[in-house]
Amino acid sequence: MGYTVPEAQGGSNPDVGLLYDINGMAKGAPNWADKAMEFVGEYGILIALGVLMVCAWWSVRKKDDAVPAVAALAWAPLAAGIAVLVNIPIRGFVRRPRPFLDHQGLDVLVKGKTDFSFVSDHTTLAMALGVGLFVANRKYGFLGILLALFEGFSRVYLGVHYPTDVVGGLALGTAVALLLAPLAMMLLTPVVGWVARSRGGWLVRAPGVRVPLVAVPDQPGAVGHRHSDLAA
């Protein structure tokens, strides 16, 4: 059952109403569940995304299109970092206080949050990783995006973000990861191809996987110009 929002606390505002409904779940949950959600929302999902990226890397190394796939995987954490940097001026411009500073009765499970609320850094980071992972491999990327959505839910559950903070984070992470992907792939693919032919080639391809002489896709007749697993 959702938490009843006092009219004085903005009960007519859908953003605030949904905040109280989701955060209200924490009020009725046992203490161990809140502790688990606190860990998951602060660290657990980001750790899971990291593990997912390692699994994807291990998998794509065995494919014929290992070079562009690994380049796309390398783009995922770069996209996440860029998205968080882009969020810095956004937060400074919007200057939205954390919800618990303006609304009473919230169950705040993470203490010490003193920065601005919009856009959610955790959600931005998770979604950029998830979408960047999707560019490299649809199967792992789909799981990554699901994790990012749960990250957004957890931030509201923990009482540290409004739902619109989360929506903004999902949009920002997606935009950076997708819009800059073509440029990133153009720059990263030759670098990864060079690594594949160096002593560190195991980072890009599993033993026995042949690396094309020319790692440039979309040229008729070029080796590996079809990338079945690459979702770019």
Residues 201, 48, 152, 134: is their CA dihedral positive or negative?
positive
> Is residue 101's pLDDT more than 60?
yes
Number of residues that make up the chain: 232
Residue 25 and residue 193: Cα distance in Å, rounded? 49
CA dihedral over 69, 71, 72, 73, signed as positive or negative: positive
Output the CA–CA distances (angstroms, integers) from residue 136 to 10, 133, 221, in the order listed: 43, 5, 23
DSSP letter, residue 41: I
Tokens of 16: 């605030």
Among residues 169, 164, 163, 162, the alpha carbon closest in space to that of 148 is found at: 169
Contacts of 230 (CB under 8 A, 6+ apart): 65, 68, 69, 72, 135, 136, 137
For residues 13-29, average pLDDT: 87
pLDDT > 60? residue 4: no
How many angstroms separate the CA atoms of 170 and 148, rounded? 8
Residue 210 has pLDDT above 90, yes or no: no
Query: Which DSSP string do the residues of 72-113 spell out, in sequence order?
Result: HHHHHHHHHHHHHHHHHHHHHHH-PPPHHHH-TT----S---
Distance separating alpha carbons of residues 170 and 176, to the nearest angstrom: 10
Given a contact cutoff of 8 angstroms between Cβ atoms, the answer to whether 130 and 141 are in contact is yes
Give 2's pLDDT tier (boundaries 50, 70, 90).
Answer: very low
pLDDT, tens digit, for every residue of 177-199? 999 999 999 999 999 888 888 88
How would DSSP label each residue in 152-173?
HHHHHHTTSS-HHHHHHHHHHH
- Determine what percent of the chain is predicted with pLDDT higher than 90: 51
Residues of the chain above pLDDT 70, percent? 83
pTM greater than the 0.85 cutoff: no
